[in-house]
Each structure stands twice: as C-alpha cells, then as structure tokens.
Amino acid sequence: MTEEKKLTKEELLEKAKKPNELALKYHPYYEGKVQVMPKCVIRDYHDFSIWYTPGVAAPCREIHKNPELSFHYTNRWNYVAVVSDGTRVLGLGDIGPEAALPVMEGKALLFKYLGGVDAFPIVLGTKNLGEIVQAVKWMEPSFGGINLEDFSSPKCFFLLERLREVMDIPVWHDDQQGTATVIYAGLINALKVVGKNKEDAKIVLFGTGAANTRAAIILMKAGFPAKNLVLIDSKGILHPSRKDLEAKKDENPWKWDLAVKTNGEGLTGSAEVAFKGADAVIAASKPGPDTIKTDWVRQMADDAILFATANPIPEIFPWDAKEAGARVIATGRSDFPNQINNSLGFPAIFRGVLDVRAKTVTDEMCIAAGNALAEFAERQGIHENYIIPTMDQWEVYIEEAVAAAEQSIKQGVARLKPTRDELYERAKKMILNARQSTETLMKARLIPPPPE
C-alpha cells in the first residue's frame, strides 16, 4: 500500500490548495514571473550608439532589402508569442484575458527555463475568431513562433488550422499538440512495459476536447490503426450513426471525422461498453475521482494501461485503478508516478524548430519529439512507475529539440540545415544558459528568496 493511498479526495484537494496559497503570496511579491534582460555588452554609454541610433540604421537598411535578415540581426529567431483570449483557462473556463495573463506568464517562464526560449505573454481583448487570426498574423514580423494557449473548443481547431495556412512561422496549440505529444510518448512506452504492440492494441480516448482529439490524430499518424481507436464524449461512444455529431459536423468537423474513421467494431452506447476489452484508456475529461468507475476498469484487458490526466484530481485514484486491474497508470499530477505533463514537450519542440528557423510545426514533428521522449526514458529503464521522463531530467529537452529540428529539415520546412552535432550543441548551450542565468541571479539575490 503506497503512501498516496492514505490520501482521501478531501486530503488531495487540501494538498492541491497549497500551491494556490503560495501563488497568492509570491505573485505580488515578485510582481510577475518574467522580465526582459540585456544580452549584449554595455561597456559604457557609447555602446548605445551601436545598439540604438545612429548605428542601428545599418541593420535596418539590410533587413529592408531582405526581411529574412530580421532573423539574423535581431532576436526574432528566439522570440515566441504565448497568445490567449482567456476563454478556456486551465480548469477555470472563460475568465477573460486579464485573468489569463498569469498563466501566460507562467508558460513564458517554462519556455525560458526549460527550453531557453524568449517567450512573451500576450492576451487579446477579443473572442472573435477572425479578429484573433488577424491579430496574430499582424504579430508575425516580431516573432519566430506562436504558442496558442487556452482557447475554447472547437474554436481552437479552426484557429490552429487557419494560422498554419496564413503564417510562415511555426504555430502551435499546446492544449492540442503538446498534450498529444506527451500522451503518445507515454503510451508507446507503457505498451512496451506490458508487452503489447500499437498495431493490435485497443485504445479508448475518454473525452473529446482539444487534447484527445489531437491525440487521436497523432496516434493514427504514428501507426495506431484508426479502427482500434474508440472515442467517448459526454453522450457516449463516437460513431457515424450519431445524428447529433452529424448535425454539428460543420461546427466541429474534426470530431465528425474521428466518428467516421475510428471504432472499427461499430460500438455504440456508454463508456462502460467502450472500456470492455480495452488495452489502454487515455482520459482527458473532468476531474474525479469517480469520473471513471472501477467497474469499467475491471472490464479492461489484462495488463491494462490507464492515463487519468484531469487536474487537480484524476478521473480515478491510481490505487483504485490498480486494485481494479490496471497495471500501468499515469496522471497529470507530479506527486504520482508517470506524470503526463505538457512541459515535457513545448519548450524543447520550440527550441528545435526555432534553431532551424522552421516555417511551421507539423504533427510529424510532434511524433519525432514523442519518440525522443520515449527513447530517453527507455534508456533509463522503463517500468510500471516510469514510462516517461520527469521535468528534472533536463537533458531530455536537448534530445527532443534535436529530433524536432531534424524532422523540420526532413520535411523541407527549415530555413537552416545544421548538422545533428550542431543542433545538439546549440540546444544545450541555450538551455544551460537559461538555467545558469537564473541560478546566478538567485545567488546574487537579484532574484530574492520568496517571503516566509
């Protein structure tokens, strides 16, 4: 019996409150989480004539002749905009752009510390799809990439698709691609642990929001047969005879497409029907602990895999899932084994695509990054309680960045084509620089310790 098993739902909720209490104390103390710092020498005030007027006119003239040189003469190559309209923030819902800003700042902090990426939080005062597309498009000359964050579904799908079409820099929606990348990495290693293969495994995706919709797409592109995938929404199993889905196929064509392509057995009905004989269940739905029933887990196949990723309480407690027969269990929490965490994906993937100045970020790049994640963990020795790296294994971000960059080159969307060794050394340098800079500022108390 693990120590976690002693915790009740109420105790877990109480434990989850601690970061909230500290956040309300620390955020105003530091007045935010990120800042802009110089990266060039300032030996004396005469240097400003180089970095600003009159010297700056020279690179301006060069960029005017060739706008691509903005990646060479400025830090644009390492700038990412973290953009949100605040319509689906964490588990808080539509709380507006101002209330979303702390989340976007936090994302920018993770970008910098984990990936060496200079990210800027940008919240928009509109919910209109067309206006958001235009606003983000207008920002393109300043950035090397765009991270979309906390947009409501299905708007997030349309937004990603349209921006991919009209922009010449990588556009990424972390709630879709980031989550899907980490799910994919964890799943392929979990299957190895239980001795099953992706060609035969029955995979149930419980919840059809941004995360599981893109996860299904990624899994199919990675070689999981569509017929072996079964998706479940709040009304039951997705299938082409669902009139409610057909009626809304223009509103959410991705969901309708999955209803048509997946579920080769033609299953209908409730979640309980889908769970029967499932080799793996990927849950990205509402917090539990009773969202997934133990009786459903008992009906899964032998050596079952269960990802219960809702926060702050997973759809089912890990110990309940274990007692019901699941062998490999993952959650979204850091205090349980096998955390499915987006932060394992986006900092490194952007590090890689920025280093080759990619024009887009594709699902194939997500798969390449997921493979790198999985392979790193496998080299450490995967087992039931370790199927995916943890955030403190910082070397994995280098390998993941290289994988994403190489896939960019392979797909012909990279402006630069460094060697693998060059990519590795550059990613390592950028990531270490961010970590060491933070440590230096903390040691010098330029970043003071938090209040007691």
Measured between alpha carbons, how far is 451 from 224 in angstroms, rounded to an integer?
50
The whole-angstrom distance between residue 266's C-alpha and the CA centroid of its chain comes to: 31
Number of residues assigned to the chain: 452
User: Could you tell me if 372 and 402 are in contact, meaning their C-beta atoms sit under 8 angstroms apart?
Assistant: yes
Contacts of 332 (CB under 8 A, 6+ apart): 308, 309, 310, 311, 314, 339, 340, 341
User: Could you tell me if 406 and 420 are in contact, meaning their C-beta atoms sit under 8 angstroms apart?
Assistant: yes
CA within 13 Å, CB half, 166:
16
- Helices (DSSP H) in 222-270: which residue ranges? 243-247, 253-261
DSSP, collapsed to helix, strand or coil, labels residue 118 as: strand
The residues annotated with a catalytic role in the active site are 52, 107
Contacts of 426 (CB under 8 A, 6+ apart): 355, 418
Tokens 């403190």, residue located: 392
Please state the φ and ψ torsions of residue 105, each to the nearest 5 degrees: -60, -45
In this structure, which amino acid lies at residue 12? Answer: L
